[in-house]
């Protein structure tokens, strides 16, 4: 199990490097693949490509999680990491608007859809997979390590993107990090193939009725968790570049430093929180975020470089505290016989419809209202829904048991 867990951590680094790279490179990719007189509209279109996962991510989560519940997660995770790697490598074959016209943007959309299909299986299964057969007192530490591997992959993508932004002609180098994904993906695939397998008892889940009430309650929780990552690390870069005088290369450099902070905070808080109540942490963090985030967003247009870092630090800390107990809460909240399927579908829908879409939705809201606080209010509404869903689901579980 130890070797399998290490293989999952390494594969998790690769998966999140692949999936986050596009988001960081959007300011470069937008003018390459889209044409508009309004730079904000171009950014919205480029970020909108990320929303293709509305369809493919829930579909991938449903398919792969159902296979994991039936046959075990080991075989499924080998397939998902290879699919992600091949899809990401195909990005290097794309050509700009001048050569392919709208077909370039369409190809970009298709590849993101394929990437999301396989990525949904990876992210929705791996977080639970590492907690299988783990003592309750160790679950926070294991989850923190898993989330740290996830953040390390994102950190690598951000650091490489920062280097590209510092180049004189960044549009010439955007393909370089995608080339590395092929070799890294093959390595991760090999590690998983040779890591051994869980002892898994096959289950017939066809007779188990899906609990759609719990899936619906999961959607705002998963979406809010993802927004607390995408707001400071993805959305903020483009938004601050529009409403402040901070240069993009400085935003990307500070982004990398903040990810290092996020990674360290995960490793420190994980063991410290092992005796705490998961539900109380989720409720308290979501309530605090609902109150604080609109004010933080209102401050963004007046922020300088240092104050912009402070704004992001607050959101990052809230996000870390919210996400550490989340997988442990999942383990205690959902029945084991169809846990992968239930959590995967709810997480995929929530992370796509509410979470991954936030950069496009947030920029669109600002473009319509020219008010920086409106995207923050949107986050607060999602946070309020997450707060009530955490509380209500606990009551539901008591009745069920």
Rounded Cα distance between 91 and 317, Å, is 33
Burial class (CB in 10 A: 0-12, 13-18, 19+), 3: exposed
pLDDT tens digit sequence for 303-320 = 999 999 999 999 999 999
Task: Compute and round to an integer the Cα radius of gyration of the chain.
Answer: 20
* Orientation angle between helical segments 39-48 and 358-369, nearest 10 degrees: 150
pLDDT tens digit sequence for 109-166 = 899 889 888 888 777 777 677 766 666 666 667 777 787 888 888 888 888 888 888 8
Separation in Å, CA 215 to CA 22, 118, 222, 334, 348: 28, 20, 10, 10, 10
Rounded Cα distance between 299 and 295, Å, is 6
Separation in Å, CA 377 to CA 50, 86, 291, 296: 22, 38, 9, 10
Rounded Cα distance between 147 and 203, Å, is 28
Nearest to 339 by CA among 242, 218, 240, 233: 218
Question: Which tokens hold the place of 235?
Answer: 């959305």
Pick 399 or 357 by higher pLDDT: 357
DSSP state of 324: T
Nearest to 96 by CA among 170, 33, 169: 33
Place of tokens 């160790």: 138
Rounded Cα distance between 197 and 26, Å, is 38
Distinct helix (H) and strand (E) counts, the chain: 17, 0
Rounded Cα distance between 268 and 148, Å, is 10
Rounded Cα distance between 25 and 161, Å, is 6
- pLDDT above 50 (res 99): yes
pTM of the model: 0.73
pLDDT tens digit sequence for 226-259 = 999 889 988 998 899 889 999 888 888 888 889 8
Q: What's the confidence (pLDDT) of residue 388?
A: 95
Domains and CATH numbers, the chain: 2-194+210-400 (1.20.1250.20)
pLDDT tens digit sequence for 34-80 = 887 777 788 888 888 877 777 888 888 888 887 887 777 777 888 88
Question: Which tokens hold the place of 34?
Answer: 């889209």
């Amino acid at each position: 199990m130890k070797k399998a867990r290490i293989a999952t951590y390494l594969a998790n680094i690769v998966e999140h490097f692949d999936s986050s790279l596009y988001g960081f490179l959007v300011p470069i990719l937008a003018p390459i693949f889209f044409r508009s007189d309004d730079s904000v509209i171009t950014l919205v279109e480029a970020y909108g490509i990320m929303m293709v996962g509305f369809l493919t991510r829930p579909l991938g989560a449903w398919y792969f999680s159902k296979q994991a519940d039936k046959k075990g997660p080991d075989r499924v995770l080998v397939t998902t990491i290879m699919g992600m790697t091949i899809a990401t490598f195909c990005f290097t074959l794309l050509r700009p608007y001048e050569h392919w016209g709208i077909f370039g943007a369409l190809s970009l959309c298709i590849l993101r859809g394929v990437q999301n299909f396989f990525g949904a299986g990876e992210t929705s299964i791996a977080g639970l997979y590492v907690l299988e057969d783990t003592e309750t007192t160790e679950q926070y530490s294991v989850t923190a390590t898993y989330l740290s591997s996830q953040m390390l992959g994102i950190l690598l993508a951000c650091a490489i993107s920062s280097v590209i932004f510092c180049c004189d002609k960044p549009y010439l180098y955007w393909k370089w990090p995608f080339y590395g994904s092929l070799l890294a993906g093959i390595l991760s695939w090999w590690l998983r193939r040779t890591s051994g397998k869980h002892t898994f008892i096959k289950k017939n889940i066809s007779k188990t009725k899906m609990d759609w009430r719990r899936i619906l309650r999961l959607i705002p929780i998963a979406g809010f968790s993802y927004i607390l990552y995408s707001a400071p690390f993805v959305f903020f870069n483009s938004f601050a570049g529009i409403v402040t005088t901070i240069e993009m290369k400085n935003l990307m450099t500070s982004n990398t430093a903040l990810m290092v902070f996020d990674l360290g905070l995960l490793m420190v808080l994980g063991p410290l929180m092992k005796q705490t109540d998961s539900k109380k942490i989720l409720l308290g963090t979501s309530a605090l975020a609902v109150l604080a985030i609109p004010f933080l967003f209102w401050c963004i247009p007046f922020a300088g470089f240092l104050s912009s870092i402070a704004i992001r630090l607050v959101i990052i800390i809230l996000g870390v505290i919210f996400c550490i107990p989340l997988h442990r809460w999942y383990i205690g909240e959902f029945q084991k016989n169809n846990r992968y399927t239930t959590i995967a579908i709810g997480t995929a829908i929530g992370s796509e419809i509410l979470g991954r879409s936030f950069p496009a939705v947030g920029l669109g809201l600002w473009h319509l209202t020219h008010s920086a606080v409106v995207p923050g209010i949107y986050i607060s509404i999602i946070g309020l829904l997450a707060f009530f869903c955490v509380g209500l689901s606990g009551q539901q579980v008591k009745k069920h048991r």
